[in-house]
Amino acid sequence: MKIVVVDSHTLNPGDLSWEQLQALGQCEIYDQTAADQTIERCRQAQVVITNKVVFDRRTMDALAQLKYIGVTATGYNVVDIATAAEKGIVVTNVPVYGTLSVAQMVFALLLELTQNVGHHSRTVRQGRWTGCKDFCYWDYPLVELADLTMGVVGFGQIGKATARLAKAFGMRVLAYDVQPGQLEGEDVESADLDRLFAASDVITLHCPLTDGTRGLVHAGRIAQMKQTAFLINTSRGPIVVEKDLADALNAGRIAGAGLDVLSVEPPKADNPILTAKNCIITPHIAWATRSSRNRLMTETVENVRAFLAGGRRNVVN
């Protein structure tokens, strides 16, 4: 059994081990693979592991030995699922591995927006505190989260984990999901999108990218938000119309935004959100704690192990 990992660096930049996968067969591991290298590297493989390398019809047509594609992510849009099913190629993903890390990142972004820790730390290091005539100073409003309302759009595992953290901060939680049953048994209040956007002090996005969610946060939705509200996106970049958000931030129509994802990654230099006021942007790292990646590695190996034993585990097609 030949196993090829086409872009190992995404999951494992060197602090994890591939030994468990290597024990399952002949294993070739590449840090990165360009589009024009994919077919040659995978030509003899029965099992391929990918994160961002695309496996479309043309690629799969050229890989006669291929029986399994394991995606080291929850989203699996890098694989043409229909073609894989047609060819009898099993495709698996890894759901929920990053739940706690992503929820944590929501609050890392939110706390930076409400406390401006980075800014004030930099000014202290620049000598401003030593020369200050008062015992303290602050340059932005400092916002307490207790008693504020968080609106959670998308109430899957990450949305639920984020809501629990919000509750721990003393926040009230409004939640929306296309499947209302997701809210059953949870200590949150159901709200439609109009009410959620109008009533929330913080809106955090946790929905998948679909035809229904693409461009969900546009100028009209942003206009419903409080001028003091914050928007957090750790889900998928295209859910937000970035020009509309940049315009709103620059005009002061909302207080700020924290984004870990953008519509195109890496972003183009002319993306207006990169220079928008009161906008914190991180390079899609919410999922990337070592604990999260270790779970991802373990689950990836277990998916392959199950496939080799004739079972089905996290199969998406």
Task: List active site positions.
Answer: 236, 265, 284
Please provide the size of the chain in residues.
317
- Residue pair 28/49 in contact (Cβ under 8 Å)? The answer is no
- Residue pair 70/95 in contact (Cβ under 8 Å)? The answer is no
Which residues have C-beta within 8 Å of that of residue 145, sequence separation ≥ 6? 110, 114, 166, 169, 170, 171, 202
Scan for tokens 């942007």, then name that residue: 281
- Residue pair 166/150 in contact (Cβ under 8 Å)? The answer is yes
Considering only CA atoms, which of 17, 289, 23, 256 is closest in space to residue 140?
Answer: 256
Output the CA–CA distances (angstroms, integers) from residue 236 to 46, 220, 242, 286, in the order listed: 31, 19, 12, 12
Distance CA 256, CA 140 (A): 12
Distance CA 244, CA 4 (A): 42
Helices within 23-91 (DSSP H only): 38-42, 57-61, 81-86
The amino acid sitting at 21 is: L
